[in-house]
Amino acid sequence: MRAGRLRHRITFQAPAEVQDQESGEMLPGWQTVWEKVPAEVSALSARDLIAAQAGQSEASGRVVIRYRPGVVPTMRIIHRGEVYEIQGQPMPDPVSGLEYLTMLVAKGVNDG
């Protein structure tokens, strides 16, 4: 994969207990795991959208990153202030499985 395709920067967040600033109480929230991850963020084509809908998915876009262990569907992605939920298991590249990951995402579903 050419580095020029990975022109967007995204942030991965995972569910975590975060402390409320005022009360000190631990509340469910989101913790940043990785910041400024190079990625390609794109909308699904009409063909991809139809295929995704066939699987009862709410997917509306695709995010491609260099391979990174530890990416799981319970995480969410922040890109340009928008929240994206990862739909299903991230898919490794078909050749080595260690070059890049492709994720189908749904916009604004996992707001926390």
> What is the token pair recorded at 84?
């994206």
Predicted TM-score (pTM) of the model is 0.81
In this predicted structure, what is the pLDDT of residue 49? 55
Model confidence over 31-76: pLDDT tens digits? 999 999 999 999 876 666 555 555 555 778 999 999 999 999 999 9
Q: Answer yes or no: is 48 within a domain.
A: yes
| Residue located via tokens 């994720």 | 103
Measure the CA–CA gap between 110 and 99, rounded to whole angstroms: 27
Q: Answer yes or no: is 24 within a domain.
A: yes
DSSP line for 16-46: EEEE-TTT--EEEEEEEEEEEEEEEEEEPPH
In this predicted structure, what is the pLDDT of residue 108? 75
In this predicted structure, what is the pLDDT of residue 50? 58
Percent of the chain with pLDDT over 70: 82
Q: Answer yes or no: is 112 within a domain.
A: no
pLDDT, average across residues 75-82? 94
CATH of the domain at 65: 2.40.10.270
Domain count, the chain: 1
State the residue range of the domain holding 33.
3-107
> Buried b vs exposed e over 2-22: b needs ≥16 C-beta within 10 Å?
eeeebebebbbbeeeeeeeee
